């Protein structure tokens, strides 16, 4: 289906991807002026922990857990000072708590051993932390003001496909396509805009195309509206 949207964009002469991305970002920025990360944190370490905990669960659930967690654990050392079982219990509600506990403790140990307890800014350094893959590293780097790539989650993937910005399913290939056409200054905010638009308007099963500010730029709008 994503491939047909790319072809449809050409057929309808909507303009090249690089020409459409500017208006797409501008319109979404007006429509979702409140778009920002939903996770709540007060420090770089809390940001890193929140993003690590968000795997396979909702931001709402993570915020519920971290409200108490971040009162108890304030520094990297704190996550290593308690028994493993205690930390597992404290993050139990986020799911996959054993693996997340192992990753968090490993990441905190590397922060202390190699980065003086500070969260690094470089993507390559972030990905050296246990449990931190590219998506997590991209989120953390962007929120710290050092975006070095574009976060691709389920919303970003779906909207990028529907907008004819990529034909791929693989997040790495989608990111590669987006990086080629999105101005670097927008790498950090584009994912938030697409995520909020995906939650509010371009939902997975029943996209509200008539209410969409991108309808004239979106090659999938007509296809989604057609029966069958």
Q: Which residues are catalytic, by number?
A: 135, 153
For the chain, give the DSSP string. Answer: -HHHHHHHHHHTT---HHHHHHHHHHHHHHHTTT-------SSHHHHHHHHHHTTTS-HHHHHHHHHHHHHH--SHHHHHHS-HHHHHHHTGGGS-HHHHHHHHHHHHHHHHHHSTTPPP-SHHHHTTSTT--HHHHHHHHHHTT---S----HHHHHHHHHTTS----SHHHHHHHHHHHS-GGGTTTHHHHHHHHHHHTS-SSS--GGG-TTTTT-THHHHHHS--
């Amino acid at each position: 289906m994503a491939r047909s949207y790319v072809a449809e964009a050409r057929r309808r002469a909507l303009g090249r991807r690089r020409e459409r991305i500017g208006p797409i970002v501008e319109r979404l920025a007006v429509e979702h002026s409140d778009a920002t990360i939903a996770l709540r944190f007060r420090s770089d370490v809390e940001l890193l922990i929140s993003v690590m905990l968000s795997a396979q669960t909702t931001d709402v659930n993570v915020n519920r857990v971290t409200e108490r967690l971040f009162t108890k654990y304030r520094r990297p050392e704190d996550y290593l000072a308690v028994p493993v079982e205690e930390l597992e219990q404290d993050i139990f509600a986020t799911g996959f708590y054993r693996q997340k506990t192992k990753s968090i403790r490993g990441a905190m140990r590397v922060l202390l051993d190699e980065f003086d307890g500070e969260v690094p800014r470089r993507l390559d350094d972030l990905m050296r932390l246990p449990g931190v893959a590219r998506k997590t590293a991209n989120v953390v780097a962007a929120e710290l003001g050092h975006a070095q790539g574009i976060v691709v989650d389920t919303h970003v993937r779906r909207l990028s496909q529907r907008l004819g910005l990529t034909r791929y399913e693989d997040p790495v290939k989608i990111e590669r396509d987006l990086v080629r056409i999105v101005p670097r200054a927008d790498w950090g905010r584009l994912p938030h805009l697409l995520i909020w638009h995906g939650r509010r308007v371009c939902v997975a099963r029943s996209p509200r195309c008539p209410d969409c500010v991108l309808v004239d730029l979106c090659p999938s709008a007509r296809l989604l509206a057609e029966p069958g």
